[in-house]
Amino acid sequence: MEENYRRLYSVFNRYRDENDVKPSEARAKIIGDLNFSISKCLDIEISNLGNVEGNQGTLYFRKADHATEFDFNVLSSGEKEVVDLLLDLYLRQDDYDDTVFLIDEPELHINTAIQGKLLLEIDRLVGPNCQIWLTTHSIGFLRALQSEMRDKCQIIQFRPENKIAAKPCLLKPLKIGPGTWRELFSIALDDLAELVSPTTIIYCEGRAEPAPGGIERGLDAKVFNNIFAETRPDAFFTSSGGNTEPDQRSAIAIAILAKVFPTVQILVLKDRDMASGKVTSENDRIVYLQTNPNNHRLLKRWEIENYLYDKEVLKSYCFATSLDFDEAAYDGLVYNIYDQNLKDETQRIKNFCGIKGNVSPDSFKQALSHHLKEGMQVFEELRACIFDRA
């Protein structure tokens, strides 16, 4: 950086003299050029070029949320790396306009979100007549190569079996495809690769179409994800339509995801009211499990409300919210927690909890889902039903 700073002043002086402009105009031009690049990657900007004669031989910066300017040494290691690299390329633009740039792992100390932006700006700075040869393990760089730069890049993978340190090896660019990207990202992530996708995906009944931004709309999926957030963070519940659609959607998912993430388990979870309202017994449930693939699950209770409206859950909810639970009234209504259609009794259940305000049924059920916790009998029953096929 010290060498680049001296060169920056040479560029400043040359621009001032060649264009016969005031020092302030030359500074504004140089700072503007540099900030154009820096703003693509960081939320800081150069405020002034310093003053060597005034014992201020460094760049100074400012941030929108910072009251005073600060010098280069105050920057984080990642910010320093970005500024130094962009400054270096900016200063070499005129002298190296038909060049191969070799850059070794520039992502060190730089977070993933910045990495891709930095690569795009590096490409802009070196210009169309230059090449960039880059070694990287960066997820951010790989993402940029996969998307914005896919039509202007080639990738060479250094495989251990090639033993390139011991003998000559002919390296060829990879033929890019979905499998290639999966392998490259797996290498970049190393042991974290298993965390990118859940180990278990459970298709359940509910509204299949997501809201804008991919937000889950299905109530059942939201509730299940809340219930098992702490004990099964590796599991993900997603809605897939009515009681016949989970079969279809899960079959498609198995065919596709099994090739991309072979370790992911895909389950199909259905309510026990699968027979369009007809009474189904525990024996019917057992027969269903015996005659369907091993990844199918069927709730022991009629539907999710029969778990949420369990007395143990309601008591926990009322205690946490300082509400009075009318246990006698509840016992007068709920005589069979397994087989009753309790969804239609939601308003009465709310009344038993002493809720006087206007709380929507869905909001009420989601609130209850946070109180169906490990250690409760109803929780253990639901967990075993889904994850142990009990």
Return phi, psi of residue 245, to 5°.
Answer: -75, -30
- The winner for highest mean pLDDT among 64-68, 200-204, 307-311 is 307-311
Q: Would you state the pLDDT for residue 225?
A: 92
Per-residue pLDDT for 58 more than 60? yes
Give the rounded percent of residues in the chain with a pLDDT score beyond 70. Answer: 84
The tokens describing 9, both together, are 């002043």
> At 360, which amino acid appears?
S
Q: What is the pLDDT of residues 89-123, one digit of tens each?
A: 999 988 898 999 999 888 877 887 788 899 999 99
From 126-140, 178-192, 220-234, the region with the lowest mean pLDDT: 178-192
Q: Would you state the pLDDT for residue 130?
A: 94
- Measured CA to CA, the distance from residue 274 to residue 302 in angstroms comes to 9
Q: Would you state the pLDDT for residue 106?
A: 83
- Measured CA to CA, the distance from residue 382 to residue 133 in angstroms comes to 54
- Nearest 5°: the CA angle 87, 91, 96 is 125
> At 236, which amino acid appears?
F
User: Considering only CA atoms, which of 278, 274, 258 is closest in space to residue 205?
Assistant: 274
Residues in the chain: 390
Contact 133, 100 (CB under 8 A): yes
Per-residue pLDDT for 193 more than 60? no
**DSSP 8-state secondary structure symbol assigned to residue 210:** P
- 43-68: average pLDDT: 82
Q: What is the pLDDT of residues 298-325, one digit of tens each?
A: 999 999 999 999 999 999 999 999 999 9
Q: What is the pLDDT of residues 248-283, one digit of tens each?
A: 656 666 666 666 566 788 898 988 876 665 778 899
From 23-27, 271-275, 327-331, the region with the lowest mean pLDDT: 271-275
Q: Would you state the pLDDT for residue 101?
A: 94
From 243-247, 334-338, 359-363, the region with the lowest mean pLDDT: 243-247
- Measured CA to CA, the distance from residue 81 to residue 71 in angstroms comes to 14
- Measured CA to CA, the distance from residue 217 to residue 239 in angstroms comes to 8
Per-residue pLDDT for 16 more than 60? yes
Contact 69, 21 (CB under 8 A): no
- Nearest 5°: the CA angle 104, 79, 114 is 70
Q: Would you state the pLDDT for residue 248?
A: 62
Give the rounded percent of residues in the chain with a pLDDT score beyond 90. Answer: 51
Task: Supply the pTM of this predicted model.
Answer: 0.54
- 219-234: average pLDDT: 90
Q: Would you state the pLDDT for residue 206?
A: 77
Per-residue pLDDT for 344 more than 90? yes
pLDDT band at 335 (very low <50, low <70, confident <90, very high): very high
- Measured CA to CA, the distance from residue 234 to residue 230 in angstroms comes to 9
Q: What is the mean pLDDT of the chain?
A: 85
Q: Would you state the pLDDT for residue 318?
A: 97
